[in-house]
Amino acid sequence: MALKIRLARGGSKKRPYYHVVVADARSPRDGRFLEKLGSWNPMLAKDDAKRVELNAERVKHWLDNGAQPTDRVLRFLDEAGVAKREAKNNPEKAKPGKKAQERTAERAQKAADAAEAAASAE
């Protein structure tokens, strides 16, 4: 059975609140889980101590038993010093899309043509 340490959403519409839970990877997001390990309230300020609450001892227990944290939960665990998350780098993400690159090339070509026309007119 593949176990995940992940978020289960609670709270009302536009007022999210999440529980950090251990669940079978096949169960639905807000469905059955094995144990509640903490909570995350994104509505609180980032420096608020109650924004992320974790039971570090139980998290370590589940990690030792093979549970895999999701990326968001791994960020919380890294902040708490329970697990290490490697920084990710995707230089391709910062590049403009295909259409934007085409528009930039087209503008550069028009500017070059205008400069050439101005030079030949003199």
User: What is the pTM (predicted TM-score) of this model?
Assistant: 0.70
Provide mean pLDDT across the span 18-23.
Answer: 95
Provide mean pLDDT across the span 16-26.
Answer: 94
Provide mean pLDDT across the span 55-81.
Answer: 92
Q: What was the pLDDT predicted at 74? A: 93
pLDDT at 34 over 80: yes
Domain at 3-80: CATH architecture = 2-Layer Sandwich (3.30)
Asked if residue 78 lies in contact with residue 55, where contact means CB atoms within 8 angstroms, the answer is: no
pLDDT at 122 over 80: no
Q: What was the pLDDT predicted at 95? A: 86
Provide mean pLDDT across the span 48-73.
Answer: 92
Beta strands in 55-111 (DSSP E): 68-69
Q: What was the pLDDT predicted at 83? A: 86
SS3 call for 20: strand
Asked if residue 37 lies in contact with residue 5, where contact means CB atoms within 8 angstroms, the answer is: yes
Q: What was the pLDDT predicted at 73? A: 93
Q: Where are the domains of the chain?
A: 3-80, 91-121
Distance from chain centroid for Cα 9: 16
